[in-house]
Amino acid sequence: MRNDQEFHIAVMAGDGIGLEVMAPCLELLTAVCARAGGLALRFEAIESGATYYREHGTALSDENLARAAKADAILLGAMGLPDVRYPDGREIAPQIDIRMALDLFAGVRPVRSIPGLSGPLSDPRAQNLDFVLIRESTEGLFAAMGKTKIVDDKIAYDTMEITRAGSERLFDFAFDLTAKRKAAGSPGVLTCVDKANVFGGFAFFRKIFFERAAAFPEIEARAAYVDAMALTQIRNPWDLDVLVTENMFGDILSDAGAALIGGMGVAPSADIGASHAVFQPCHGTAPDIMGTGKANPTAMFLSAAMMLDWLGNRHGEAKAIEAGALLQDAVEAAFAGGDLRPFEMGGTNGLKDITARVSETIHLHSSSRT
Ligand code: ATP
């Protein structure tokens, strides 16, 4: 665990472009921590993923999971390859198993525009999106993972599970996060996204949401059906503040959120529990572009910035909060001129160009501060 000198970071680069975006991310992390008063990070590489599964017959060994659990935070690239599957046909997905194993119930997916990088919406208000999707990450439909019941090759059952305890802790986390954003100037509106008009499980989910809302009178609690929210996310996403939803719905809405700000390569995430947290880009291993230099590392950098901020707040370490802000500012400054455009957005800039520009910006920042 953390000692006075350093934070211990478990690094699970994984497969495909996960490996590609992790390497420069560690360099930038070291650079921003040096700028922020010499904060020290100790990286411990932990192997897991599809390639590891191919060689060892397990995607994440108990021993490696235990090593990761001892770290102050886990930084993850991406895992899985389409041709590496369990005998039942599912892709290996240790990044999901970790959420279950370490009880990382709150998947935090910020949808925040990067100035200079336009998404697909032409409305000028879409240039300044800033909302957060919180995805429940340990139950919901994903509770059925590995437990599918198929009867006589005729009918398949995947059972969604929504518990009171799981929902209460999720909503409390979401209300707290909404309150923090409100303190920083956001509207203070939390919307529960569900399908309570059709499923009893979601009616239960919504009921618990409004029960918990009573403990947070300063926050405006609303509810919306997921189909209506899909429409809102595209038609007027600038009206959104914080959304909280079930695992499967969050999986889908968060990719749509990534699209709004330009693509998977710019969408960061954090999976947070009571005593552990994993930070990783929203994207997968993107086998179609691995090895081409086209991977956009921005989401990885922003996830690392979220990690520093989380560590700083959790441990009362101002240097970590400062380092996280430096990294986030450097990413934003790198794109601000509008001339850096990732391949995934139709541009010509890939891993090297984007890393170089962010790195330059970090060094510029540091020389302008000294
Ligand atoms: P998963 O199934 O785990 O979501 P995936 O790699 O199949 O993984 P996504 O990560 O959702 O799917 O990515 C979809 C596509 O978006 C990729 O195939 C790739 O073309 C593009 N993409 C994803 N991440 C990046 C990135 N960081 N930089 C550039 N393009 C990306």
At 76-117, the pLDDT tens digits run 999 999 999 988 888 888 988 899 999 999 999 999 999 999
My answer on whether 92 and 137 are in the same domain is no
Confidence category of residue 366, pLDDT binned at 50, 70, 90: low
| Ligand 1 proximity of 285 Cβ (cutoff 6 Å) | yes
Return the ligand 1 atom nearest residue 80 CA. 3
- The Cα–Cα gap between 167 and 221 comes to 15
Q: Which of 297, 327, 298, 299 is nearest to 312 (CA)?
A: 327
Burial classification of residue 217, based on how many CB atoms lie within 10 Å of its CB (0-12 exposed, 13-18 middle, 19 or more buried): exposed
CATH of the domain at 149: 3.40.718.10
Which pLDDT score, from 0 to 100, does residue 354 have?
98
110: in domain: no
pLDDT tens digit string along 117-153? 988 999 999 999 999 999 999 999 999 988 999 999 9
Q: Whose CA is nearest to atom 15 of ligand 1?
A: 286
| Residue range 216-238: mean pLDDT, rounded | 98
The per-residue pLDDT of the chain, averaged, comes to 95
Same domain, 81 and 126: no
What are the strands of the beta sheet with 6-14, ordered from one edge? 40-45, 6-14, 73-78, 277-281, 268-272, 106-112, 130-136, 242-245, 189-194, 220-225
For residue 112, tell me if it sits in a domain. no
Q: Mind listing the pLDDT tens digit for each residue in 333-365?
A: 999 999 999 999 999 999 999 999 999 999 876
- CA 361 to centroid of ligand 1, rounded, Å: 26
Distance CA 279, CA 154 (A): 40
Check whether residue 228 and residue 210 sit in a common domain: yes
Rounded CA-CA distance 245/224 in Å is: 10
Clarify whether residues 50 and 68 are in a common domain.
yes
Q: CB of 50 closer than 6 A to ligand 1?
A: no
* Residue 31 sits in the same domain as residue 151: no
Residue where a domain stops, chosen among 260, 292, 313 = 260
Q: Is 264 in the pocket of ligand 1 (CB under 6 A)?
A: yes
Residues 1, 95 share a domain: yes
- Which ligand 1 atom is the nearest neighbour of the CA of 288? 18
- 169, 135 in Cβ contact below 8 A? no
Q: Which residue has the CA at smallest separation from atom 18 of ligand 1? A: 286
Question: Are 132 and 84 part of one and the same domain?
Answer: no
pLDDT digits (tens, 9 = 90+) for 1-59: 455 679 999 999 999 999 999 999 999 999 999 999 889 999 999 999 999 999 999 99
Distance 284 CA to ligand 1 centre (A): 5
Q: Which of 66, 30, 32 is nearest to 48 (CA)?
A: 66
Question: How much is the pLDDT for 207?
Answer: 98
Nearest CA to ligand 1 atom 17: 286
Number of domains in the chain: 2
Predicted pLDDT of residue 47? 95
Model confidence over 246-300: pLDDT tens digits?
999 999 999 999 999 999 999 999 999 999 999 999 999 999 999 999 999 999 9
Of 260, 293, 325, which closes a domain? 260
Which of 260, 294, 324 terminates a domain? The answer is 260
Please state, in angstroms and as integers, the Cα–Cα distance from residue 370 to each residue in 70, 82, 315, following that order.
36, 48, 26
Do residue 87 and residue 192 come from a single domain? Answer: no
What pLDDT is stored for residue 5 in this prediction? 72
Which residues are within 8 A (CB) of 337 and not within 5 positions of it... i.e. 6 or more apart? Answer: 116
Tokens of 161: 């599970």
pLDDT at residue number 90: 87
Residue of 264, 282, 331, 345 with the most ligand 1 atoms within 8 Å of its CB, for mutation = 264
Residue 268 Cβ inside 6 Å of ligand 1? The answer reads: no
Q: In which band, very low, low, confident or very high, does the pLDDT at 369 lie, cut at 50, 70 and 90?
A: very low
Looking at the domain assignment, is residue 19 inside a domain? Answer: yes
Domain boundaries, position 151: 120-260
pLDDT at 282: 95
| Residue 185, pLDDT above cutoff 60 | yes
- Is residue 353, in this structure, part of any structural domain at all? yes
Q: pTM of the predicted model, to two decimals? A: 0.94
